[in-house]
Each structure stands twice: as C-alpha cells, then as structure tokens.
Amino acid sequence: MKKILTILLVLSALGACTTGGRTEKEEFIVDLNSPQIPMGGIDVQMDKTFPLPGIRKINVTMSYFPIEDAVCLQYRVDLMTYFQFWSRSGRAAFIKALEEYKEDYAARDLERRGGARARRKYGNVEGYLIWQLSRYTTQAKSSVNIELGYSFQENSPYFLVNQREAYYLVSQQESRDTQQKAMYFTRAQADELAVFFNQEYLQGLSPVGAFNEDTNYDEYDNKTEIQSENGTQTEEY
C-alpha cells in the first residue's frame, strides 16, 4: 500500500510540472487608438463590386503600431473601411510565401485552374481585423484567417492575400460580419509591401523606448508590368 501511494505522489508531481510548463498562445489584438507611424500607401487590385466581373485598383494606406508591433493595411471598399493588422510572425510568413510564389512563377509552375488549393497554397496566418461603415458607427473587431496563395485574374497571375470571413458579436440581439476580401498583387506590388513588412525597416521607424503603454495618443515570363484598360496593374501571360 505504501508503495502504491508513493507511485501516485510521483505521478501527481509529474502532472503538476507538465501543467505548470504549459504556455498559452498570446492573442494578437491591436488598439486602433495606439500610437501609429504612417508609412504611405501602395496600389493593389481587388474584386469589383458584385455582380460586376473583374478586378479594380485601390490604394491601401499603411501604418505601423510599435506598441503592438503590428502593421495595418487600411482600405475602403463597398462603403466599408477595413483595418487589416499583421503581426511579426504573419509578416514573416508573407515574405516567405512571396519568395515561394516567385520561385513557382519563374518555373512556370502556377495552375490557371488551381481553385481553392491555389488560393491557400503558401499557408495562412492569423491577423486582426477592425471594420466599420464610418467613424460614427460601431467598430467590429475580430481575429481573422488570412490565406496566402495565388490566383489568375483577367488572364494574369497574381500573388493573393485572401482575408476570410470575420464575425463580431455586438450584443445578444446584434452582430456584425464581413465577407472574404481578396487582394491581388503583381510581383512588384508584393515586393513593395514586403519592404514595409521587413522587421529591420520597422525598427528603424520606431527607436527603442520611443513608445510605451503609458503614451497617449502576366506574359507569365515577362518581367515588365503593363497598365490594363481599367487602370489595374497586370503582368502579361
């Protein structure tokens, strides 16, 4: 009996050590009122408003939130303003996925009819999303899954950042949701964003200690891009 009690005590101690060593994943959230550093804007392509076919060019405004170490891509489509936030790990995944895409591009290994598999070929990341109709309406907030892949649009390949559906519960009687939104990048456009996602570049914007929590505040093988009739950037195929 004494031997059995000893074994139970040892097992209990081991279980306590295992539980104590377990670390929970920190949730990635961003306060829109946190200090931010403007970084300019870039052009990307997005789908035209349903039911119109094709894509259109929009401008995405970028800013860096040093306290949360987050990059925000702000854009407005279909009367709604979106703030799409990227964590450090998400930005690293974007840069890695872009390199893989460019390798596939150079090898002509992109499928025109790749479908859903192509849209998430290079993985996905967890981002944070805020969306609202205007500054006077409720801010909806949610974690969001962002797929990294590629897609052919108007006979040209694009690097794809696909923001999936998100849902926000305002109250038991009211909720907000948003449908998926896809951003289509030419290689040059994606390279431009990758520069702003580079951690050394971002650290140069925000000297250590500058902010703290108490601060108030395609031809497919053609390397040249052409301008399409509707103003979007494309690469001949």
pLDDT tens by residue, 148-165: 999 999 999 999 999 999
∠ CA 143-41-130, rounded to 5°: 20
Burial tier of 158 (Cβ tally within 10 Å: 0-12, 13-18, 19+): buried
- Both tokens assigned to 197: 């996602």
User: Residue 170's pLDDT is what?
Assistant: 79
∠ CA 233-105-40, rounded to 5°: 40
The residues of the chain scoring below 50 in pLDDT are 1-22, 214-226
User: Residue 67's pLDDT is what?
Assistant: 95
User: Residue 150's pLDDT is what?
Assistant: 98
User: Residue 15's pLDDT is what?
Assistant: 46
User: Residue 7's pLDDT is what?
Assistant: 43
How far lies 53's CA from each of 140, 165, 190, 233, in Å? 28, 20, 23, 16
Helix axes 187-197 and 88-106, enclosed angle (nearest 10): 150
